[in-house]
Structure 1
Amino acid sequence: MLFQVGGQGTRPTFFEMAAAQQLPASLRAALTYSIGVLALRRPFLHKVLDYEDEFFALLMMILEGHSLRTTDASFSESLYGLRRRAVKIAVNKDNTQMDSGDRLRLSGLEKHQKVLSVAFLVVLPYFKSKLHSIYNKQREAALQATLWGNDDASFGDVDYFDGGETSVARRGLLDPEASNWTRIRKRIEAIIGVCYPWLHAGNEGMTFAYQLLYLLDATGFYSPGLHALGIHVCRATEQELMDTSSRIARIRSRERERLRGPPWLKALQRVLLSCIYTTLDYAQTGLIAAVFFFKMMEWWYQSAEERMSAPTVYPPPPPPPPPKVAKEGIPLPPDRTICPLCSQKRANPSVVVVSGFVFCYTCIFKYISQYKRCPVTLIPATVDQIRRLFHDM
């Protein structure tokens, strides 16, 4: 199952290397999401989420070790048809100095390079994740200290209101080794909180520099880890892809020949090996399918949330019906420019907001001050509900 992103020759493109590097992060997110959904019905799976880093590191160690052993490539690199090759400098024998006649010679990975590759692919990311979590805890503790003061006691502690002195003294007297270990652990965590940002910034800066140089074709190493191991990632040839299956078959046949013990034990071991081989053969396809399924679910729920959170545009409501003239109210004159109260042309026209009818300001102010209602509709009103109209503006 290979994904070709393009390019010619044995040197992979930048996009192939970037896609191979980002695949483990997508795989972890997919597995975490899937286990989180299953944990809603199976609470015991919450223990897996509590040890998420260890669980994923163990899984990737199995996958990376198997992939490097059989294909000389990491788990994600093998999906893109890439292979790791050891870099050796072939020196021209006629001239002991480095010149244009010297060239790089690529060969298969040695055993120690495979072991170190697993360490760079699994162990270092695991420690980086742990350091990142410790740094986040230290940052939250520092933020809490700035808000509430530097106090280790919390509201849930029994001895909170006495400042925690009794509990601290009791713990120190009963278990001095535990208190010493606690102080050492807090000091180590404080050092990590101070040093981690600089280490992270340096690592990210070096990684960005190598990727930029690789994009500009100035180096053959995509990352500092590959440079430290002396490994180039190359695109596999057709012959190498064809020989992979035969190599895996030879490795498995040798493993079956090494089985020792009575016949029933050998049969049991063969069954276990067959189960392991089947799981490893379909692990790549299954995990990649899980990644695509996770991305599809993420897109689905994100689009659904966007549709639910999007403001709904409703049509404007119809205007309210015009107020009706009361039977006992003052009738309206035929000419709308005439004031119903004084039967003269309106001066300083003003409207009563509760009814919408327009009068002279002086007339309507006197009427509402006396009767507390609109003279046409008899709706209760106050002088504060009179509004001046300006036709000339």
Structure 2
Amino acid sequence: MAEGAHLTSAVGHERPSVFEVLAQESLISTVRPAIKHAVRVAAENRPERFGWLLQHYDEVYTALNFLLEQYYLRKYCATFAENFYSLKRVYGDTPSSSRLPRGVVWKSLFYVVILPYIKQKMDEKFEDLRHVYNTYAGNQEMSRLSKTFVAVYPYVHTVWEGAVLSYQTAYMFGKCDWHSPFLHLTGVTLCNDLEEGDSISSRSTPWQQLSLQEKLVLVVKKLLNFTAVSVSTSLSVGLFFIQFLDWWYTSETSHKSLTSLPVPDPPERDSSSEATQFNICPICHRTRSNDTALSVSGYVFCYPCIYDYVKEYKKCPVTKFPAQTEHLIKLYITAP
């Protein structure tokens, strides 16, 4: 037993548990929606200043995440979440103290940052096309490529999730060295970072015996290390704070009634065309098809019109109240 412990410490790394690898993945999955919620709150309060940030949130987040992950992969041989849980990526038989090759860093960035962005965009595209596909008029107007995408993508998504689940199950039972197929494709293994004391042994010469130039270099190094540790600690604390805000606002808004918004003024009636205005959509100004009500205001629109408008502008076109696509209620009018 003691000999095994000695060998483990000599190698400098060991296989992390399945709870550690799942914990670092859950951290990544909660950061994006938590930050987006904070951006949405800011955009609702200051739409002229933060509206563009909410509209292009995915692209801005991906760019910032790319820079962050690139720094951590080059500096700590791990992503931000992996470094947070004291995990490190090891390439082949190289020691865990060495840096990752440039090609491995770029492949890691692709599977950690770029591929999730593509997957999210495909999910959003599928949801949009599925809503259009479920409407009779939209189904007739869809192209053959869009219909094929709606039919095939659920199977692609199933294969994706099935591969991830298979790797996690095999890793849990010790049958595989990777908990994710993307980590396997990157060519690295994940291990615990057990190295300590490297920076302590770097200064073996007493301070009094150092020259002025060596003292300045040592001070600059300590300042840079302190800055890096401060930034890393601040990001870690900020992540926990963002998760707390996300939980707080979710629990607060989940019980909010639809009547919490002020009652909008009734639409002005035109006595000369009162009979013809009843079935007119306020957006396209044509006779409504596939009637859909917006619950935050009570107005009724064509489903394609109000769905596209709310998805793009996040508000009611008549009352300007904040709205989401889940506030749409389809109406089924039957003859008396």
SS of the equivalent of 1:233 reads strand
Q: Which stretch of structure 1 is more off in the superposition, 55-64 or 187-196?
A: 187-196
The CA distance in 1 between the partners of 2:150 and 2:228, in whole Å, is 39
SS in 1 for 2:45: coil
For residue 28 of structure 2, the aligned residue among 10, 24, 29 is: 24
Shift of 1:40: 2.7
Letter matched to residue 124 of structure 2: S
Hey, what does 1:222 align to over in structure 2? Answer: 179
Q: Structure 1 143/227 Cα, relative in aligned 2: closer, same or farther at 3 Å?
A: same
Query: Mapping of 1:78-89 within 5 angstroms?
Result: 78-88=83-93
Please give the per-residue CA displacement for 1:245-286, whole angstroms capped at 9, x wherever unaligned.
x8xxxxxxxxxxxxxxxxxxxxxxxxxxxxx99987655434
Residues 35-92 of structure 1: per-residue CA shift (max 9 Å, x gap): 112223321212111112111111110011000010111111011111100125xxxx
Deviations 1:17-40 (A, max 9, x none): 001112122111221111112223
Shift of 1:130: 0.8
- Structure 1 runs not aligned, ≥5 long: 1-7, 89-103, 153-182, 247-275, 310-393
The separation in 2 between residues aligned to 1:37 and 1:278, in whole angstroms, is: 33
Residue 72 (structure 2) aligns with: 67
Once the two structures are TM-superposed, the CA of residue 300 in structure 1 deviates from its matched residue by 3.4
Q: Distance in 2 between matches of 1:195 and 1:27?
A: 30
Cα distance change on mapping 1:285 and 1:45 into 2, 3 Å: farther
Judge conservation of contact 1:12–1:234 (CA < 8 Å) in 2. yes
* Contact kept in structure 2, 1:134 and 1:192, CA below 8 Å: no
Matches within 5 A, 1:83-122: 83-88=88-93, 108-122=99-113
Distance 1:301 1:119, change over 3 A: closer
Q: Structure 2: where are the runs of 5+ without partners? A: 1-8, 203-223, 258-336
8 A Cα contact 1:27 1:290, kept in partner: no
Residue aligning to 2:116: 125
Distance in 1 between residues matched to 2:233 and 2:67, nearest whole Å? 15
Q: Within 2, Cα distance between the matches of 1:35 and 1:279?
A: 27
Select 1:57's aligned residue among 50, 55, 62. Answer: 62
Post-superposition shift, 1:304?
4.8
Aligned to 1:171: none
Deviations 1:210-235 (A, max 9, x none): 00011111111111011112210010
**One-letter identity of the residue aligned with 1:213:** A
Alignment correspondent of 1:76: 81
Q: What residue identity is the alignment partner of 1:11?
A: R
Other structure's SS at 1:40 match = helix
1:183-222 alignment runs, 5 A limit: 186-222=143-179
Flag the 1:85–1:307 CA change in 2: closer, same or farther, 3 A: same
1:5-25 superposed Cα distances (whole Å, 9 cap, x missing partner): xxx961111111001112122
Larger CA Rg, structure 1 vs 2: 1
The alpha carbon displacement at 1:187 in A equals 4.7
* TM-score for both structures, normalised by structure 1: 0.50
How many residues in Structure 1 have an aligned counterpart in Structure 2?
A: 223
CA RMSD of aligned residues (A): 3.3
Question: Percent identity between the aligned chains?
Answer: 29
Provide the C-alpha distance between the structure 1 equivalents of 2:101 and 2:148, rounded to a whole number of angstroms: 37
What residue is the counterpart of 1:300 in the other structure?
A: 248
TM-score by length of structure 2 reads 0.58
- Equivalent position of 2:131 in the other structure: 140
Q: Alpha-carbon deviations, 1:107-143, whole Å to 9, x = none?
A: 7521100110000001100110111111001110011
1:288 aligns with 2:245: no
CA–CA distance in structure 2, aligned partners of residues 140 and 294 of structure 1? 32
Superposed CA deviations along residues 335-392 of structure 1, whole A, max 9, x for unmatched, are: xxxxxxxxxxxxxxxxxxxxxxxxxxxxxxxxxxxxxxxxxxxxxxxxxxxxxxxxxx
Alignment of 1:1-393 (within 5 A): 10-43=14-47, 44-88=49-93, 108-145=99-136, 150=139, 152=141, 186-239=143-196, 242=198, 282-304=230-252
In the alignment, what sits opposite 1:339? none
CA distance in 1, matches of 2:46, 2:229: 28
Aligned to 2:292: none
